[in-house]
Structure 1
Amino acid sequence: MGKKRSRDVDQDVAMTDPTVEKKAGADEDDSSDEEDMDIVNVDFELFNYDSTIDFHGVKSLLRQLFDADSQLFDLSALSDLIVEQNTIGSTCKVDDKANDAYAFLTVLNLQEHRAKKPVVAQLIDYLCDRAKKSQGEEKETLATAVPELLAEGSKACVGLVLAERLLNMPAEVIPPMWRCMIDEIEAAVEDKEPYEFTHYLVVSRTYREVESSLDMGERKNKKARDEKGLQYFHPEDEEMRKHAVASGWYEYTKESESVADSKRAFQELGVKPAGFMMLIEADKFEKAVGAIAEYVGSAS
């Protein structure tokens, strides 16, 4: 690797989080048609990775990202790799750099690390297997393209994009993180570092609502569960997939039948998580990032 770079100034992203609105007039006239609202502004800051601080926060978010399949990987080794690559990607925090990350984003050169990092070899095998078993309108393309691009000896250079955030984080924090990463990749390429990708493979999560087995009783032999449409933990994924050459969702290999019930959260329908991946050509990646920035801005 070339010389290390650090941002001149850590990025400060100020925004209003609608989840922290507080009513000011609750003790006044409850019959009033209009109530004054106090809005708490939360400042989120983007930081370079720090190996002395960010290991545990990143590992926790990786466990959330890979869900039931997180036990298939050496998450400690993967976390180490991410935080040591401290000039590419960001953590998002509140108040102080020493706090755990509320969100993270990074990209890993799979071909560069596959021989020296066993966890990357594990990831490559896993992603190829899941792509072959993916579902969705573009599953045939995904099932063919991912194993070919990630095969040993392939001339393609695939960047694995890993991004996750706490569930109550506002989507507004995401576009600045992506834009920073694009700038950092461009700077790394100028410094002859191995980030000149031909494709980006974005790993994310999705879910479906399914009828809980707790309510099925004697009906379990009459008909299958009513599976609803695909939903996104990260709403911006729906916009980004429009720029992908292929995308698809896949079942977790370690998923058990009890998961939908354990994540039911007192609803009539259970939640069944699944993995989701998008394959984006490098020359379309910046446009995809611009599209999600526009989407998040229009949806807020």
Structure 2
Amino acid sequence: MTRAMTVDLRRRRAPAVPRLRRADKWAAAVLLFPALLGFVLFYLYPTVRGVYYSMTDFNLLKEPGLVGAENFRTLVADPQVWTSLRITAVFALANLVVMLVLALGLAALMQRLRLRTWVRSLLLLPWLVPNVAIALIWGWLLDANVGFLKNLLDSIGIEGVTFYNPDAALWIVVGISVWSGLGYTALLLYAGMLQVPAELYEAGALDGASETRMFFRLTLPLIRPVLALVLVVSLIGSFQVFDLVQVGYGNNPIPEVRVIYYYIYQQAFAFYKMGYASAIAILLVVILGALTYVQMRLMRANRSDLS
């Protein structure tokens, strides 16, 4: 068989790919335009400007002048940058671990008990409350003088649980963050668990597998893409914690909770070092991009055992 005949046979066997009609292309363009415009205006353009500012001495008061990599050399030698990153990393790790464990347990309970819709809706209430309001509410509850929750904990022997206690401050912020996002995270995992065929659990039960064994051998592997999504979103959100710290501590956080986002805000709007703040933000983007890539590769997020 000649090469031309082989190519002809392959063309005949290949399934025909339907082409979009001109009207469909215009409809798709019109529907995608608002989202594309929003992406360009609110994501792409600020990103490009941020990269440009990171190489300037911009201070909000005069026109920026190029300084090359000077801001990046300064941040490498700035111990406060790495201290803030370390605090943020501790917060992110604690938030991820506690949130994931509790959310998985709550999602498994919802899957097994089939809770009513209104019960599941109640789980979303803390997530729907703005973080500014959450910070104000918890700041009042844990106030050193009039805090209701602080006085309640003191009455049962748990003392020192206040916002301004250096030993407890970071863990209080972790607890508030977990409380706020637990319901939403659990519902995401619950939605993933609903995609697992019931026949698999029935087969496992017939084979004598316990609930715990089926959870680790069936449920977790089969919801891997959803689990990867939750991990990536939670990681990025944890590194972006700001309003709980800024509002909860009255614009003057103690060093134990001075996270990297607050340090960037401080450099930009308190010290007017917009160029330097942009350089730190670029560093944070690179770190988050690397962590996201590693997570996606380890979790094999693009593959699903359900397909």
Please state which band the TM-score falls in when normalised by the shorter chain: under 0.3
When Rg is computed on C-alpha atoms for both structures, the one with the higher figure is: 2
Higher relative contact order (CA 8 A, sep 6+): 2
More helix as a share of residues? 2
TM-score, reference length from structure 1: 0.23
TM-score, reference length from structure 2: 0.22
